[in-house]
Structure 1
Amino acid sequence: MLAYTTYSEAGGVAKTTTAANLAVAHARAGLDVLVVPLDPQDGNLSHLLGVDDDRADPSVDNIVRHMVNRPKGPFEELIVTAESGVDIIPEHNMLSDLADNLRREKEQAEAMGESFGVNTRLLSVLRDAGVHETYDVLICDPPATEGRHLYNAITATHSLVIPVEPSAKGEASVKGLESLVAGIEDTLDIDVGVLAAVPVKWSNTNEAQRVLDELEYSTPEVFRSRESLMNGCWRQQCSAFTYVSEHRDRTRDHELDTLERYDRLARHLEQQAGVEPPAPPEPGALEPEVTA
């Protein structure tokens, strides 16, 4: 199984759009994909893929309830299928109180002489549900802040994909992330691997190339800034693949190039985990195809 968390300490580096488009790229190749987004803020992955209608409904079952042993139904009923057959567990407003809920559950468990791992709850829920046997790919998308959301995501996946802006600010965020990962490894007693760094908003400048050259992580694909494409995805609540194929009246070579890069990056990540996609498309190929 390929499992990874998309994470960056810096905001505005397309962390969530990277997760969504990679999920679709994996699914396009015939793999079974589950996405577990954990961001309590609006404008999250559930919104991007158009499955966040119930996030404010207090009566709805959600992943937090399962993590604190208060489910309202079976795990399978949490899952919604989005575009290209990507399965997703929609985010819910209860994620805002995840840390407090985990703390209270830990206190109650300890009062009864029981253990409760606040950083391993997501992993336990996914294992109990047989996710690792059911799916080929698991992607977690926590908020861009350190805390229980991130710790649970990393414990569940043990691997990171890091979007990074090739600038001085982006370089600083990667260095901060290196320290964070080292601390998490010590705290959780696990090894955390970085499958790839994903340079975004690339510009062909000496400064950008310097940052790229000094990155310690593999950078299999580099993405230029595609503001119109990405803004369109958020507006239409879909991936870049769907936006180009269904919401553009003509093909744009630079956008097809972006889709190709997502497909190639997905193949690279799959190869890292030894996952063989059954039907990988030609990189960037559209169905149905957009014509000029």
Structure 2
Amino acid sequence: MLTYTTYSEAGGVGKTTLTANLADAHTQQGRDVLVIDLDPQQGSLTYLLGIPASRDDGEADNIARHLIDRPKGEFSDLIQDTPYDFDVIPSHDMLENLPQLLTKAQEIAEDLDEEFAPNDQLRQVLSAAGIPDKYDTVIVDPPATAGPQLYNAVSATRSLVLPVEPTGKGIQSVEGLEDMVVNLEDTLGFNVGILAIVPNGIGSTSNQEQYLAEIQDLGYDAPVALRDRSSLFEGCWDQQCTAFYYVGYHRSGRRDYEVETLDKLRDLAAHIEEVGDQ
């Protein structure tokens, strides 16, 4: 089973856009894919894919309720279909209060002399719901901040795919990856793998090409580099769809450079499958 978390400590690097398009690309290669949106922001994967969800309904069952062991229904009822043939568990506003909710749930469990691991709840919920038997690929999209959403995502997947910008700030984040991974491993108590680093938004300047070379020199696997495709990806957000769907249904004519980007996304998905399935 292939499982990974798409994560970046910096916002605005295309984390959620990459997640949606990798899910689409994996599905095109015959995989049964589930994407879990743990990001409480309004502009999350749930919005990008146009998933109907009662985010602000505190009485509705949602992923946060299951993580604190207070569900209102079956976990399978949270799963929603998409036009892209992969499934999604949508975000909910309750995720914003997940740190406090998990702390309260842990205190209640301790009072009852029960075990409760706040950073391992997602893995346990997925296992209890039989998700590993129903899907061969699970991708989790947490917010770009350290906290229980990220910890639960990594605990459930054990692997990371990391988009980065080819800028000075991006290189600093790449150089800090080792520290970030060590901190995650210390917090969670297991080894965390990096399946791929994805330079995203590369332009034609020599400095940006230099940054790409530096990423590779640091010893990290960057199987593809995505050029600056602002028009394509902004169009995805406008139309609330993946890039594959956008090019197929919302572009009036073929643009070879966009087709090349879609091919690179498929290549990236294939590489992640090869590395992650080992």
* TM band (smaller chain): over 0.9
Identity over aligned residues, as a percent?
Answer: 50
Instruction: Output the amino acid matched with 1:245.
Output: G
TM-score, length-scaled by structure 2:
0.96
Number of the residue aligned with 1:290: none
Number of the residue aligned with 2:19: 19
Asked whether the 8 Å contact 1:78–1:90 carries over to 2, the reply is: yes
What pairs with 1:88-99 in structure 2 (closer than 5 Å)? Answer: 88-99=88-99
Distance in 2 of aligned mates of 1:273 and 1:176? 23
Instruction: Output the amino acid matched with 2:236.
Output: C
SS of 2:226's equivalent? coil
Q: Does 1:247 align with 2:259?
A: no
Residues 133-169 of structure 1, C-alpha deviations (whole Å, 9 max, x = no match) = 2111000000001111100000000000000011110
Q: Quote how far apart the aligned CAs of 1:204 are.
A: 3.3
Instruction: Output the amino acid matched with 2:108.
Output: Q
CA RMSD of aligned residues (A): 1.2
Asked whether the 8 Å contact 1:161–1:196 carries over to 2, the reply is: yes
Number of the residue aligned with 2:232: 229
**Runs of 4 or more off by more than 3 Å in structure 1?**
none
Q: Does 1:176 align with 2:179?
A: no
Q: Does 1:56 align with 2:80?
A: no
Distance in 2 of aligned mates of 1:150 and 1:175? 20
Asked whether the 8 Å contact 2:236–2:242 carries over to 1, the reply is: yes
Asked whether the 8 Å contact 1:49–1:237 carries over to 2, the reply is: yes
Number of the residue aligned with 1:203: 203
Distance in 2 of aligned mates of 1:175 and 1:117? 31
Q: Does 1:150 align with 2:153?
A: no
Count residues in correspondence: 275
Number of the residue aligned with 1:268: 271
Q: Which moved more, 1:150-159 or 1:201-210?
A: 201-210
Q: Which runs of 5+ in 1 are unaligned?
A: 276-292
Q: Quote how far apart the aligned CAs of 1:83 are.
A: 2.3
Asked whether the 8 Å contact 1:49–1:83 carries over to 2, the reply is: no
Instruction: Output the amino acid matched with 1:219.
Output: A
Q: Which runs of 5+ in 2 are unaligned?
A: none
Q: Which moved more, 1:200-209 or 1:24-33?
A: 200-209
What pairs with 1:55-204 in structure 2 (closer than 5 Å)? Answer: 55-204=55-204
Instruction: Output the amino acid matched with 1:46.
Output: T
SS of 1:85's equivalent? coil
Q: Quote how far apart the aligned CAs of 1:65 are.
A: 0.5
Residues 45-101 of structure 1, C-alpha deviations (whole Å, 9 max, x = no match) = 010011043112222211111111111111110000112211000101111111110
Asked whether the 8 Å contact 2:37–2:45 carries over to 1, the reply is: yes
Q: Quote how far apart the aligned CAs of 1:176 are.
A: 3.0
